[in-house]
């Protein structure tokens, strides 16, 4: 699969075919997810209507960690196998992951104020998510910090691999330390500790965020490849 996508022209052709379907699926999932989240799911007996922030906060948290994991995999692929599109994929995913992390932090503050009585606390999960945001910013900055793009990509890849240790810290922080966040609700061994009426829209929104990421990643990678092609044509014309 990696070898099949190593050719930029082949990747662009595949992306052109996939994009309309992924965009349409993203739209359908968002419409269904928002409808069930706002109108078909009940309010929480303790938190009331503020629980609906969960349908944006939790999927964005999933995607913030998934994006960074994707960047780490692409970074390893670039450093080990020198895949020609791995750096482009990581570079294209970083701003998306940073945006998801901003959504996590913003909705977390909006949810925390009525639930905990404060906008922010320095507990393990909140602090590690903030560190994740700075890792995204560091990756973006390193990518553009060198005149030689390959040096920037290599430095950003090393940072991504080193920073990946923060992802399991975010995931298991509620189990390792006493935090205000509740323990995992969906990955329990017996059954999810969430009502099916709330679980269905949560999963729909999670799928919508995932397909949105795939769609935007393909768009950004194609744009990056087109810029590189235009730059190469300009240099050849100048010479």
- If you average pLDDT over residues 223-232, what whole number do you get? 85
Structure confidence at residue 1 as a pLDDT band (50, 70, 90): low
Q: What pLDDT, on the 0 to 100 scale, is given for residue 193?
A: 66
Neighbours of 128 (CB within 10 A): 18
SS3 48: strand
pTM of the model: 0.91
Of 181 and 202, the one with more pLDDT: 202
Residue 148: per-residue pLDDT: 87
User: What's the pLDDT at 123?
Assistant: 85
What are phi and psi for residue 96, nearest 5 degrees? Answer: -65, -45
pLDDT at residue 69 greater than cutoff 60: yes
44, β-bridge pairs: 48
Under 8 Å between Cβ of 140 and 95: yes
Tokens 């692929």 belong to 77
For the stretch 12-44, pLDDT in tens is 999 999 999 999 999 999 999 999 999 999 988
The structural domains of the chain, ordered by start, are 52-185+193-238 (1.20.120)
Q: What is the model's pLDDT at position 106?
A: 96
Let me know: does 79 contact 11? Beta carbons within 8 Å.
no
DSSP state of 180: S
DSSP β-bridge partners for residue 48: 44
Q: In whole numbers, what is the pLDDT of the chain averaged over residues? A: 89
Please check the confidence at residue 223 and state whether its pLDDT lies above 50: yes
Residue 189 has what pLDDT?
Answer: 45
Helix axes of 86-116 and 124-143: crossing angle, nearest 10 degrees: 150
Radius of gyration of the chain (CA): 20
**The predicted structure's pLDDT at residue 3:** 61
Task: Check whether 233 has a pLDDT greater than 80.
Answer: no
Convert the pLDDT of each residue in 129-171 to its tens digit: 999 999 999 999 999 999 888 999 999 999 999 999 999 999 8
């Amino acid at each position: 699969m990696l070898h099949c996508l190593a050719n930029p022209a082949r990747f662009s052709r595949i992306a052109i075919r996939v994009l309309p379907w992924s965009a349409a699926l993203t739209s359908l999932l968002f419409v269904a997810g928002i409808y069930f989240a706002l109108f078909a799911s009940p309010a929480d007996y303790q938190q009331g209507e503020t629980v609906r922030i969960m349908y944006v906060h939790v999927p964005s948290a999933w995607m913030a960690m998934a994006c960074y994991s994707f960047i780490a995999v692409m970074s390893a692929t670039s450093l080990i196998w020198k895949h020609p599109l791995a750096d482009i994929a990581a570079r294209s995913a970083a701003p998306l992951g940073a945006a998801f992390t901003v959504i996590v932090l913003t909705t977390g503050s909006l949810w925390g104020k009525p639930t905990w009585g404060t906008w922010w606390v320095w507990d393990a999960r909140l602090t590690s998510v903030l560190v994740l945001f700075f890792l995204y910013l560091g990756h973006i900055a390193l990518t553009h910090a060198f005149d030689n793009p390959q040096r920037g990509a290599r430095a950003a890849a090393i940072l991504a691999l080193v920073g990946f240790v923060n992802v399991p810290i975010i995931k298991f922080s509620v189990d390792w330390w006493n935090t205000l966040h509740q323990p995992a609700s969906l990955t329990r061994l017996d059954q999810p500790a969430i009502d099916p009426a709330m679980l269905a829209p949560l999963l729909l929104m999670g799928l919508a965020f995932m397909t949105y990421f795939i769609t935007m990643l393909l768009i950004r990678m194609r744009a990056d490849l087109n810029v590189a092609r235009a730059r190469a044509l300009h240099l050849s014309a100048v010479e």
